[in-house]
A and B are shown apart, each in its own frame.
Chain A
Amino acid sequence: MTMRMRFHLTIRLLHWTMAFLIIAMLFVGIGMVSTAGPAYAQLLTLHRPLGIAILLLACVRLAIRLATLAPPLPDDLPRAQKLAAKGSHLLLYLAMIGMPLIGWAMLSAGGYPVTLGLGLTLPPILPQNLGAFGMLRQAHTIAAVALFGLILGHLTIALVHGFIRHDGVLSTMAFGPSADHPQFPAPTILPRLEPASTDSIPIEHSFPAETDPAIRLDPSERQIDPT
């Protein structure tokens, strides 16, 4: 029985690839609606294939995320914060899949061809309907602003975990060796001092040695690899 203390490698790779693509996409989107210059046409040409790429990657990621184990949140995190963490991640997945689908549905309803370049054109996923286009077009903007807000919050909280709480949450998405996250199985984890470079005051490790982490997990978070 092993316990993963980081996200599955493919999840971590997808996370950082998609972080780049989604932030690029938000910049393409806001840049596009801000200009009537030649960049408009170029950004529009980029926007559609980028959106579909994000949709595909998000679907792959969701499947892997459901099939693999996620590191548990620190035990000492207040219940409300755990709920907020889960809720915001749910919303992020919803946005990653929902935004491109809204875009695709919106173009379908607006009678636009969903051209991806290289001669690829996607079929419409909604019948043509002006009212539906109007609503979806507004939803696309609102969802984009909401997604941007979620990303800002996600980024800030991740940094707070990494550099204020030092609870190892940030390194669940990191690569390379980690002091915070020894690979299981490990017989015991001793309390350790945080590196002096980040903070000189010793704090407890997120999994105190006297407690078996598997026992302290919330049942819904019990991340036992069946293999």
Chain B
Amino acid sequence: MPVSRPRPSTVAAILAAPAALLIGFALAGGWVGTPRLSGGGIADALEYNAGPHPGYRRAHAKGLCFTGRFDANGAGTALSRARIFAKGSYSATGRFSTGGGNPFATDGRNVFHAMALQITAPDGEIWRLAMDHVPIFPVATPQAFVELQRATKPDPATGKPVPAIMKAYLARHPETKAYQDYITAAPLPDSFANGTYYSINAFRFIDSAGATRTVRWSFVPEATFGALDKTKLARLPADHLFDELLHRLARGSVRWRMRVTLASPLDRTNDATVQWPSDRRTIEVGVLNIDRAGPEEQGACRDITFDPTILPRGIALSDDPLLAARSAAYAASFRRRAAEAPGPSAIGKALARGE
């Protein structure tokens, strides 16, 4: 079929359609315009801070897996229609970890102890929780988190952040200064088993009538509290906390009581750096009972991501901007380490050596 030579205007009009789509795509992807922080950007900041550790989580890289059960007492059903709160016993699996991106870091550092948890309802519905032993977080926004990672990158010469950079950062972030003051003063639990683990962020509980309440929660240990001597942290064996937990579990299970704290209308729900007053109403909803732990190579916890936005019906996100950021960053970390081959864990290596 003879086709006449098209007019330039026709060609231009035709090319305008795919060009418009391409430009729209570039805008949606944040390739043009103001730079946008992505989950990958947060993972980059973590990698910048800790150095490359391919195959491991970009944060809380050192950990071990545990299993147990969550025994709900039924009181939670007044707050949330999540089936996990109906009276009963639900399987739980999780991970203890220490903060930082180095999977072979020594435990004698004044950092987060963390408990990640997955509770599964009988119908398979799951709830993932990722908690720290400190009730406040050092930053309130993902942007500040990235700044913190950059500011606290250890100087290879000293192993500590560069003081001038840190000072400039803290001047801009009084909330991080407040966190540092808190963690300096607070005793550091001498076991994973006797720390209290906090939800970090606020969430919303939705009851069967559709009423919504903003809450935080904590897992309060039944084990007697003991504190590490902060002056002797450097002399602790490298895997002290992990070994201690394995030895403790060999003698019997460890338990935490889950307490849900209800926000008052005055409480800030979008700022994880601020604690709510201690007189807020709390409701005990169940007991977590952990009876087994082992290295990540043998556990169920290594190959999943404890994204705290994976929630059952009856629990929803609050307006805390850290929640979506945690989800995006955990997804980026998971994506990266899954594409790399997982390496042995510190505990797995130690057990293999017969320690």
Contact = CB atoms under 8 A, between A and B. Distances in A.
A217 interface: no
B18 A156 contact: yes
A93 interface: no
Contact of A152 (B13, B22, B125, B304): B22
Main secondary structure of the interface of A (DSSP, over half): helix
B4 A199 contact: yes
Interface string B120-142: 00001110000000000000001
Contact of A130 (B21, B38, B126, B338): B338
Interface in A99-147: 110-113, 119, 121, 128-131, 133-135, 137-138
Nearest to A145: B25
Greatest chain A CB density within 10 A among B42, B124, B339 is at: B339
B338 A37 contact: no
A34 B28 contact: yes
Contact of B126 (A36, A39, A113): A113
Interface in B91-149: 124-126, 142
Given A30-B29, A76-B1, A155 B325 contact: no
B251 interface: no
A37 B325 CA distance: 6
Interface in B1-58: 1-4, 6-7, 10-11, 13-15, 17-18, 21-22, 24-25, 28-30, 36-42
Given A30-B25, A134-B339, A40 B14 contact: no
B327 interface: yes
Contacts of B29: 30-31, 33-34
Given A156-B15, A204-B1, A41 B323 contact: yes
Interface string B314-329: 0001010101110111
B25 A134 contact: no
A74 B1 CA distance: 9
A166 B14 CA distance: 13
B3 A37 contact: no
A37 B37 contact: yes
Interface stretch (A2-10, A63-71, A157-165, A176-184): A157-165
A130 B24 contact: no
Contacts of B334: 110, 133
Chain B CB count within 10 A is highest, among A76, A160, A198, for A160
A33 B7 CA distance: 40
A156 B17 contact: yes
Contact of A40 (B17, B39, B310, B313): B39
A2 to B, nearest CB: 25
A206 B1 contact: yes
A23 B21 contact: yes
Contact of A31 (B17, B28, B303): B28
11 contacts: A34-B30, A37-B321, A110-B334, A111-B304, A121-B125, A130-B337, A137-B338, A152-B21, A155-B17, A160-B14, A166-B3
Interface of A: 23, 26-27, 30-31, 33-41, 44, 74, 76, 110-113, 119, 121, 128-131, 133-135, 137-138, 148, 151-152, 155-156, 159-160, 163-167, 198-199, 201, 203-204, 206
Given A36-B39, A155-B21, 9 more contacts: A37-B36, A37-B142, A40-B327, A40-B328, A110-B334, A112-B304, A128-B303, A130-B302, A164-B3
